[in-house]
């Protein structure tokens, strides 16, 4: 028998706000967090827009001395974890510290640090490279720093499954608790890859939107005029907890994690297969793990990247996986407002799905002005919708043929 796993704390920094509350308010208002890149001079780049954090003060969470030693993706993880732990009112003490784990994924890790220190190496020589270069660059150091900060001595890991990293982290944390390897896990994903190399690299793949004159309209999932995703940064952290542990300490319960599925397309590094059959198997695997029928799903937070192939193939996959029920589902892509947070996107969208279950509000898909005839589901266009939902699904798909799906439900005794 699997142990039941619930969500007791949430923390996030996103292009829409530096807290879960601000992010959720922006989503419900249909607000876009996309703007012109300010982190570097992008005037010569084909893409000059991104979803950057705004007004974020790292000194609220980290001292000045430590700040200089950390890449932004680690800083965002520490900040979001502080929020989530405080929200959960979780206290980690020695007798139970080895039952508390950390699983934080990242698609790219400390790319900004690598770029900065490589420039120093070339211009000033090897002796000027910081001794904190490698600790700032390693993808698993977000989980490492969070573990040290809170004294969490249980399982620790860092899934690196491209854009699915955040969902993979939550799914693997869910499995660890359900299988009694841990009682509590700080789980999520983080990335801070709005850098010259990342933007140039994604541009070289023709993956990014080039709607530079209309940043807030650039991310337009399922719209006929979509031309690529918008790269963003941020972090989402959830406190996952065994139900019996949460009950004993009287924790607030936001939602329950019911199931997790992950598959490979085994097809292409960056292109989904026609019909997105790997995604179909992934959704079926999550449904089977949850022990529910597809007809019980009320809402899907779609991967919905605003790329021509993904949006069409994800639509086909949902139709295949859900059959006639796909016409009764509400589906939305909140990337239309947040952009694509790479390894953080799955965990941020898990938080969004949790809030949808808690509040009965479905966030919209904005910029859906001219729906693609091949994308013909109910995408909650333009405006948030009041809808009491019981069970919801969140999909994320990543480079390297990886798919990950989690299913969340309203908590019930």
- Going from N- to C-terminal start, the domains of the chain cover 5-248, 260-409
Give the Cα separation of 364 and 3 in Å (integer): 33
48 conformational bin, left if phi > 0, alpha if psi -120 to 50, beta if neither: alpha
Q: Which CATH superfamily is domain 5-248 in?
A: Thiolase/Chalcone synthase (3.40.47.10)
Residue 411: per-residue pLDDT:
95
Give the Cα separation of 290 and 63 in Å (integer): 43
Let me know if domain 260-409 sits in CATH 3.30.479.10: no
Residue 413: per-residue pLDDT:
81
Q: Could you give the 3-state DSSP secondary structure of residue 356?
A: helix
Residue 274: per-residue pLDDT:
81
Tell me if 312 sits within 8 A of 224, measured CB to CB.
no
Residue 1: per-residue pLDDT:
73
Structure tokens at 386: 């009041």
Tell me if 374 sits within 8 A of 403, measured CB to CB.
no
Residue 256: per-residue pLDDT:
98
Which residue out of 158, 235, 276, 340 is catalytically annotated? 340
Which residue out of 28, 145, 158, 163 is catalytically annotated? 163
Tell me if 81 sits within 8 A of 18, measured CB to CB.
no
* CB neighbourhood size of 140 (10 A): 18
Closest CA to 92 of 154, 156, 173: 154
Structure tokens at 304: 């919905």
- DSSP annotation of 110 reads S
Which residue out of 145, 276, 303, 375 is catalytically annotated? 303
Residue 95: per-residue pLDDT:
86
Give the Cα separation of 191 and 189 in Å (integer): 7
Per-residue pLDDT for the chain (413 aa), expressed as one digit of tens each?
A: 799 999 999 999 999 999 999 999 999 999 999 999 999 999 999 999 999 999 999 999 999 999 999 999 999 999 999 999 999 999 999 889 999 999 999 999 999 999 999 999 999 999 999 999 999 999 999 999 999 999 999 999 999 999 999 999 999 999 999 999 999 999 999 999 999 999 999 999 999 999 999 999 999 999 999 999 999 999 999 999 999 999 999 999 999 999 999 999 999 888 888 878 999 999 999 999 999 999 999 999 999 999 999 999 999 999 999 999 999 999 999 999 999 999 999 999 999 999 999 999 999 999 999 999 999 999 999 999 999 999 999 999 999 899 999 999 999 88
Give the Cα separation of 233 and 109 in Å (integer): 11
Catalytic site residue 163?
yes
Give the Cα separation of 381 and 366 in Å (integer): 6
Same fold, 5-248 and 260-409: yes
Residue 94: per-residue pLDDT:
85
Residue 130: per-residue pLDDT:
97
* CB neighbourhood size of 104 (10 A): 38
Give the Cα separation of 338 and 236 in Å (integer): 12
Largest alpha-carbon pair distance within the chain?
Answer: 64
Catalytic site residue 303?
yes
- DSSP annotation of 305 reads -
Structure tokens at 87: 């929200």
Give the Cα separation of 102 and 66 in Å (integer): 21
Structure tokens at 147: 């573990």
Tell me if 24 sits within 8 A of 10, measured CB to CB.
no
| Overall size of the chain counted in residues | 413
Give the Cα separation of 20 and 390 in Å (integer): 21
């Amino acid at each position: 028998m699997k142990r039941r796993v619930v969500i007791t704390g949430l923390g996030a920094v996103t292009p829409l706000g530096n807290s879960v509350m601000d992010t959720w308010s922006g989503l419900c208002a249909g607000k876009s967090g996309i703007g012109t890149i300010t982190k570097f001079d992008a005037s010569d780049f084909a893409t000059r827009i991104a979803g950057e954090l705004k007004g974020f003060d790292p000194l609220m969470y980290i001292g000045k001395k430590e700040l200089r030693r950390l890449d932004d993706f680690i800083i965002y993880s520490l900040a979001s974890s502080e929020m989530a732990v405080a929200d959960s009112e979780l206290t980690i003490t020695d007798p139970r510290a080895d039952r508390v784990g950390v699983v934080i994924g990242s698609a790219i890790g400390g790319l900004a640090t690598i770029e900065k220190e490589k420039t120093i190496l070339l211009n000033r020589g090897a002796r000027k490279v910081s001794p904190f270069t490698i600790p700032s660059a390693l993808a698993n150091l977000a989980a490492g720093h969070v573990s040290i900060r809170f004294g969490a001595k249980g399982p620790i890991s860092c899934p690196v499954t491209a854009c699915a990293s955040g969902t993979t982290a939550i799914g693997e944390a869910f499995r660890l608790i359900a299988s009694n390897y841990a009682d509590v896990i700080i789980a999520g994903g983080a990335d801070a890859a709005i850098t010259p190399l990342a933007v140039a690299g994604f541009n070289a793949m023709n993956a990014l939107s080039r709607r530079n004159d209309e940043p807030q309209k650039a991310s337009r999932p399922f719209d006929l005029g979509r031309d690529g995703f918008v790269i963003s940064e941020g972090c989402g952290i959830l406190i996952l907890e065994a139900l019996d542990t949460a009950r004993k300490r009287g924790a607030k319960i936001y939602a329950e994690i019911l199931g997790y599925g992950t598959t490979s397309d085994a097809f292409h590094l960056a292109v989904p297969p026609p019909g997105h059959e790997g995604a179909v198997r992934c959704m079926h695997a999550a449904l089977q793990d949850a022990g529910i029928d597809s007809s019980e799903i009320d809402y899907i937070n779609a991967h919905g990247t605003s790329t021509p192939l993904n949006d069409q193939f994800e639509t086909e996959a949902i139709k295949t996986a859900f059959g006639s029920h796909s016409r009764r589902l509400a589906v939305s892509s909140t990337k239309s407002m947040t952009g694509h947070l790479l390894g953080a996107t799955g965990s941020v969208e898990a938080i969004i799905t949790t809030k949808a279950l808690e509040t009965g509000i479905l966030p919209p898909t904005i910029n859906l002005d001219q729906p693609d005839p091949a994308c013909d589901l109910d995408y909650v266009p333009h405006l948030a919708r009041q809808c009491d939902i019981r069970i919801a699904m969140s999909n994320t798909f990543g480079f390297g043929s990886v798919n990950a799906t989690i299913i969340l439900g309203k908590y019930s005794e």
